[in-house]
Amino acid sequence: MKFLKKITDLVIYGNYFIAVCAALLLYETYILLALPQSWFYTSIAFFSTLFTYNIDRLVAYKEISRAEAERQVWITGHLLLMSVSAGISFIYLAVCVFYIAWPVLVFIAHLGIISVAYSLPLLYGKKNTHTLRSIKGLKIFLIAYVWAASTVIMPCLAEGLSIFSKEVVLLFIERFLFIFIITLPFDIRDYKSDIASNVSTIPGMIGIRNAKILAVGCMVVFMIIAIIHYPFRTGNFWARIISAVSTLYIVYKTEETNHEYYFTGLLDGTMVIQFLLVAGLNAVLI
C-alpha cells in the first residue's frame, strides 16, 4: 500500500495526471470533430501542461492552502524532480516550435503568456509583484479559457478548420463551461485560506452554496448545447449527457474537508471519464 501511495502521489502531485487529462481532452476534440488525430499536438498539450503546472507549484508551493498540506510536503521533498520535469518539458516544447504550423504558433503565443503571467509577474519591482491569478475573480476564467483554447482551437487551427464554424464554436463553449464547472470546487477547497489571504474567488464573493448552484446552472447550459450540437442517437450526445450528470454529482458533493485526491484525482479525473465515454460510445453507437 505504501508503494501504491508513492506512485499515486508521484502521478498526481507531480502533475503527470493533469497533463494526461489535457492530452486526452485535445484528443477528444479530434474524435468529436472527426479530424485526423495528431500525436504531435497531443504531446504538446501534455508537455505544456506539465511545464505550466510544475512552474506554478514550484513558485507558490509555500503559499498553498492548508487543504493541500500533503501536496506541499510532497513538493518540498521532490523539488529537484519537478524542476527536471519542467526543464525537460520546456526543451521539448522549444524544439516543437520549429515544427508547429505558423497559424497555431501565433495563436498559442498568447496562451503561453497568460500561463506564465498566471504564476509569475511579468514585471518585477516593489510596485508590481501581482500575477494574473491575484486579480479579483479572474483566475477561474483564465483557467477555463486557456484549457478550452488549447484543447479545441489549437487542433482546429492545425487542421485548417475555421475556428468560427458552428461546430468549433459550440465545442469551445462546451469545453469552457466544463472546465469552469470542475474548477469551481478547487476554489471551494481554498475558501477559508483565500479569504484569509484576501484573494477574491467566486465562492468567496457569492458563498459556497451559491457557487454550487452556479455550477448546476452552467451544467444545464452545457447539456442544452449538447442537445443542440449532437444528434440524439449518437455516441457524442450520450457521452456528453452521462459525463455532465456524473460530473455534476461529484462537484455538488465537494466539501472543504475532502482529501486532496478528491480534487486532483476525482475532479480532474472527470476529464478522463468524459474522454472514455466519447471514445467508447462512439465505437458502439453510430
Span 11-29, pLDDT tens digits: 999 999 999 999 999 999 9
How far is 219 from 240, CA to CA, in rounded Å?
11
Q: Model pTM? A: 0.92
**pLDDT at residue 124 greater than cutoff 60:** no
How far is 101 from 115, CA to CA, in rounded Å?
21
pLDDT winner (highest mean) among 111-115, 234-238, 256-260: 234-238
**Largest distance between two CA atoms of the chain:** 60
How far is 5 from 10, CA to CA, in rounded Å?
8
What's the pLDDT score for residue 260? 87
What's the pLDDT score for residue 62? 62
Secondary structure tally for the chain: helices H, strands E: 15, 0
Domain boundaries, the chain: 2-284
What's the pLDDT score for residue 269? 96
- Assigned fold of 2-284: Farnesyl Diphosphate Synthase (1.10.600)
- Are the CB atoms for 149 and 49 separated by under 8 Å? no
**pLDDT at residue 61 greater than cutoff 90:** no
Closest listed residue to residue 78, CA positions, set 95, 61, 96:
61
**pLDDT at residue 115 greater than cutoff 90:** no
pLDDT band, residue 257 (cuts 50/70/90): confident
What's the pLDDT score for residue 138? 80
How far is 206 from 211, CA to CA, in rounded Å?
7
What's the pLDDT score for residue 197? 62
Span 98-112, pLDDT tens digits: 999 999 999 999 998
178 against 137, higher pLDDT? 178
